Amino acid sequence: MSDAASTKQNVTKRKIAVLVSGRGSNLKALAAACAQPDFPAEIALVFSNRPNAQALSIAADYGIPTQTLDHKEFEDRTEFDAAVSEIIDQSGAQLVCLAGYMRLFSEEFVNRWRDRMINIHPALLPAFKGLHVHERAIEAGVKITGATVHFVRLGTDEGPIIIQGAVPVLPDDTPETLEARILTVEHKIYPEAVRMIAQGHTRIVNERVEIVDEAPSVADCFIVPHVAIRD
């Protein structure tokens, strides 16, 4: 066996759980990345609060285990989140990735997965938190927008930023065309964020993410790189 083949077989993969509610385009990007033999993570679970979510069919295509719970069958958010947390624990996942998961979390859930749960938002945070971001970006007249991957905190779309990708806002953009352009960046930076975390290249200091022991890299001209910090 060659050294290269041996290295690929010995890659330690961090298990992740992906939480979805809708179509699952970012799930597909993560699944495609995790299918690569040298990628340092694997999806142990896809969970949805909507039993008919389109994303579940993507998980099935990749042979990824899925579970669903309908949040409407629970008395309150805390009870539902406790059940979700137990399912994640049972999967063995060490990192939770939100990919279009349309639920707010209880404080207990956020604290339980603090620094082990990340989200992707279709704007350059802290700008345009919340919903209808593409419409708001166009109305505001910004020239650049994009996407952000961040660790999750209790506030909506708040938490230490891991990586961002930027795209131009064109004069004739509609919310739909702008969304499509941003999605191409989302599909690049989300797997990149997972890779950096899985390989131990991120640390949180004073609620800011520092990238450790990794040279800056740019996947394309729209992705904003971090400056590496060497110990």
Q: What is the dihedral of CA 44, 49, 55, 57, to 10 degrees?
A: 80
**Domain CATH code at residue 144:** 3.40.50.170
Stretch (H or E) spanning 223: strand 223-224
Does 183 share its domain with 132? Answer: yes
Q: For the chain, what is the mean pLDDT?
A: 91
Coil, helix or strand at residue 137 = helix
Q: What is the pLDDT of residues 179-213, one digit of tens each?
A: 999 999 999 999 999 999 999 999 999 999 999 98
Domain final position from 113, 137, 159? 113
Return the ∠ at Cα 132 (arms to 130 and 134), rounded to 5°: 115
The pair of three-digit structure tokens given for residue 229, joined into one six-digit string: 């910090």
Does 109 share its domain with 171? Answer: no
For residue 222, pLDDT beyond 90: no
Does 125 share its domain with 229? Answer: yes
Residues of the chain with pLDDT > 90: what percent? 86
Q: What is the per-residue pLDDT for 58?
A: 98
Over residues 49-54, mean pLDDT: 95
For residue 170, pLDDT beyond 90: yes
Does 125 share its domain with 108? Answer: no
Does 10 share its domain with 92? Answer: yes
Tokens 């958010």 belong to 77
Q: What is the per-residue pLDDT for 12?
A: 84
Does 100 share its domain with 146? Answer: no
Does 211 share its domain with 103? Answer: no
The pTM (predicted TM-score) of the whole model is 0.90
For residue 227, pLDDT beyond 90: no
Does 93 share its domain with 31? Answer: yes
Domain total of the chain: 2
Does 12 share its domain with 102? Answer: yes
For residue 220, pLDDT beyond 50: no
Contact 101, 23 (CB under 8 A): no
Whole-number Å distance between alpha carbons of 231 and 219: 24
For residue 225, pLDDT beyond 60: no
Coil, helix or strand at residue 166 = strand
Q: Which of 71, 121, 187, 201 is catalytic?
A: 121
Cα distances (angstroms) measured from residue 157 to each of 160, 166, 225: 10, 17, 21
Q: What is the pLDDT of residues 84-141, one digit of tens each?
A: 999 999 999 999 999 999 999 999 999 999 999 999 999 999 999 999 999 999 999 9
Domain final position from 62, 80, 113? 113
For residue 172, pLDDT beyond 90: yes
Q: What is the per-residue pLDDT for 10?
A: 57
Does 162 share its domain with 105? Answer: no
Domain final position from 48, 82, 113? 113
Of the candidate ranges 9-23, 43-57, 161-175, 217-231, the one whose mean pLDDT is the lowest: 217-231
In which domain, by residue range, is 216 found?
Answer: 119-231
Does 108 share its domain with 32? Answer: yes
Does 143 share its domain with 97? Answer: no
Q: What is the per-residue pLDDT for 214?
A: 78
Catalytic annotation present for 121: yes
For residue 221, pLDDT beyond 50: no
pLDDT band at 224 (very low <50, low <70, confident <90, very high): very low
